[in-house]
Structure 1
Amino acid sequence: MSFRLDGKRALVTGAGSGIGRATAIALAEAGAEVYALDLQETAAKGVADHITSTGGKCQPIACDVSNEDSIAAAFASIAGLELLVNSAGVAHIGTIFDTNPDDFDRLYRVNVRGTYLCMQSALKLMSRGSAIVNIASIAATSGLSARFAYSMTKGAVVAMTLSVAKDALPLGVRCNCISPARVHTSFVDGFLAKNYPGREEEMLATLAASQPIGRMGTPEEIAQLALYLCSDSASFITGSDVAIDGGFNNLR
């Protein structure tokens, strides 16, 4: 493996499922000792059990990233940290016309406030050579239908990434974000089952076709990019929003 993380401690939020889970596994396979944070304790324990059963090191931590006290308790259990991947997030389907304030605030609390709190806490523990990777989205920079609140939060993640990258230069800490296009996760399957019962396969094909490459991404593909950005091989990369979108932005 090219991008080794031996001897490094990594914290992954939203590690219980989807991109977060795949990232926690990828970092552990590369030699990192992983702290797997998730709102659901059973989900955090599930990925930790998987990692340890294959010879890796992982400690599960139940944590609500939108809650300052919960974040403080989680980071208090960590002696040091070299890597942070902010993958915890919630999605929402809706335009500005039908997005209510409660949904807007809920997405802000998790996707924006949670990312801010975790970066602030992590930076207190980090030394030179450390790295932060935030999971943003192409929704931050592309006009997507019915993604009003979600796009707002991911635009904020990109902006925070650039600001932190600048402020952290004197500390020797890099900060980048990843902007995926559609990724096939359990959220997608659940959304289709709820809104298009009996038409799941048809709608999966429609979602896949929206990427010029002809398919959705996988959590593991996003995780491999996160692994690279965490590794010393990416030591010349900071303040970047890296698209992994199957040609969505440039080839449509």
Structure 2
Amino acid sequence: MDRVNDMKTALVTGANKGIGFAIAEGLGTLGFRVAVGARDDVRREEAVERLRAKGIDAFGVALDVTSDDSVRTAAQALDRLDVLVNNAGIGGPFPQDPTTLDLGVVRTVLDTNVFGVVRVTNAVLPLLRKAEAPRIVNVSSNMGSLALRTGPIMAAYAPSKSMLNSLTVQYARALADTNVIINACCPGYVATDFTGHASDRTPEQGAAIAVRLATLPGDGPRGGFFDDGGDIPW
């Protein structure tokens, strides 16, 4: 078997910058062939070139997680898949006070953060089922924890992550008798465009938990919610 076909392939959505790029870099450093999923053609190709400059086997995949057609085309462009990291996500505009919330904002946030995960996951699941050790990682947030109630009031974003966590559990239940392992993670408060770079925590530090879950052994946890410190309360 030739080297390319023998390499494990990972698809990271929203991988052109920030935590997504750091996850792609982390997996690439471990020897994965990395598919950089992103909507913006220019930023996607720039990310691919940056990864290749680091010696990583990377290629771009045009991917808008809110579009059925885009997701379907992206899935068809892959010849194999071993790891899926559903990283693409949006915060939505402020304010998100529940007492004055625009339902259009909720729909927009859910379309990316929740429906987008379902679109992509189900589109590539046939490929993952063929892999020897398939892994799915959903990048969530502890703002979605009903117990912790962290961060500012964001009545569209936080519930979208709560739903993503619940969805992760449902996938884990449905895939319990397969070798597909799925978990959710929180990268923490990381210096990215999303946070206005108002943090000392680097994207690489935030990406570490996703990379770890993407490379779990066969007896690893299923349907959990983790950060660097371990389990996160639901």
Instruction: Please indicate the TM-score interval, normalised by the length of the shorter structure.
Output: 0.7 to 0.9
Contact 1:182 1:245 in 2 (8 A): no
Q: Determine helix, strand or coil for the equivalent of 2:70.
A: helix
Counterpart selection for 1:236 from 220, 225, 229:
220
CA–CA distance in structure 2, aligned partners of residues 245 and 173 of structure 1: 24
Does structure 1 conserve the Cα–Cα contact (< 8 Å) formed by 2:143 and 2:158? yes
Amino acid at match of 1:238: R
- Which deviates the most, 141-150 or 129-138? 141-150
Which residue, 132, 139, 144 being the options, matches 1:135?
A: 139
SS in 2 for 1:184: coil
How far apart, in 1, do the equivalents of 2:202 and 2:119 lie? Answer: 27
Give the alignment of 1:28-177 within 5 angstroms: 28-92=28-92, 93=94, 94-126=96-128, 127=130, 128-141=132-145, 142-143=148-149, 144-177=151-184
Q: Give, in angstroms, the shift of residue 243 of structure 1.
A: 2.6
Corresponding residue for residue 196 of structure 1:
none
Compute the displacement of 1:97 (Å).
2.3
CA contact (8 A) 1:138 1:245 kept: no
TM-score, with structure 2 as normaliser: 0.87
CA contact (8 A) 2:80 2:127 kept: yes
Query: Could you say if the C-alpha distance between residues 54 and 243 of structure 1 is closer, same or farther in structure 2, counting changes exceeding 3 Å?
Result: closer
Q: Which position in structure 1 is the counterpart of 2:17?
A: 17
Query: Would the aligned equivalents of 2:84 and 2:135 in 1 still touch at CA under 8 Å?
Result: yes
Amino acid at match of 2:102: N
Tell me the CA shift for residue 245 of structure 1: 7.3
Which SS does the other structure have where 1:155 is aligned? helix
Instruction: Name the counterpart of 1:197.
Output: none
For residue 170 of structure 1, give the secondary structure of its aligned residue in structure 2: coil
Could you tell me how far apart the structure 2 residues matched to 1:234 and 1:138 are?
26
Deviations 1:210-229 (A, max 9, x none): xxxxxx53211121211111
User: Which deviates more, 69-78 or 222-231?
Assistant: 222-231
1:75 aligned counterpart, secondary structure? helix
Q: Is the 8 A contact 1:228 1:234 kept in 2?
A: no
Contact 2:10 2:83 (8 Å CA) reproduced: yes
Q: C-alpha displacement at 1:145, in angstroms?
A: 3.0
Q: Distance in 2 between the 1:189 and 1:110 partners?
A: 20
Q: Which entry has the higher C-alpha Rg, 1 or 2? A: 1
The alpha-carbon deviation at position 170 of structure 1 amounts to 2.0
Q: Deviations over 1:152-209 (max 9, x none)?
A: 110111011111112112221000010233221122227xxxxxxxxxxxxx4xxx5x
Tell me, in whole angstroms, the C-alpha distance in 1 between the residues paired with 2:127 and 2:79.
8
Match of 1:224 among 205, 208, 212: 208
Given the two structures, how large is their TM-score scaled by the length of structure 1? 0.81
Q: CA RMSD in A?
A: 2.2
| Greater shift in the superposed pair: 234-243 or 114-123 | 234-243
Which letter does structure 1 place at the counterpart of 2:117? T
Letter in 1 for 2:176: L
**Alignment gaps of 5+ in structure 2:** 1-5
Distance 1:27 1:106 in 2: 30
Aligned residue pairs: how many? 221
Residues in 2 aligned to 1:37 and 1:135: alpha-carbon distance in whole angstroms: 14
